[in-house]
Amino acid sequence: MGLENLYPDCMTASVYEMDWERLAERYKGVIFDIDNTLVPHGAPADNRAVELFGRLHSLGMATMLVSNNGEGRVKPFADLVDSGYVHDAGKPKAGGYRRAMQKMGTKAEETLFVGDQIFTDIWGANRAGMETVLTDPVDRSTDEIQIVIKRVFEKPFRRVRKRKDEKGDHI
What's the confidence (pLDDT) of residue 165?
63
Query: Mean of the pLDDT values across residues 137-148?
Result: 65
What's the confidence (pLDDT) of residue 117?
87
Residue 39: how many other CB atoms lie within 10 Å? 18
Domains of the chain, each with CATH number or no CATH = 3-166 (3.40.50.1000)
Confidence of residue 159 (pLDDT cuts 50, 70, 90): low
Kindly report whether the global pTM for this prediction surpasses the value 0.75.
yes
The residues, ordered by sequence, that sit 6+ positions from 49 with a Cβ below 8 Å of its Cβ are 38, 39, 77, 80, 81
Is the pLDDT assigned to residue 11 strictly greater than 90?
Answer: no
39, 99, 107 from 50: Cα distances, Å: 11, 23, 25
Residue type, 24: A
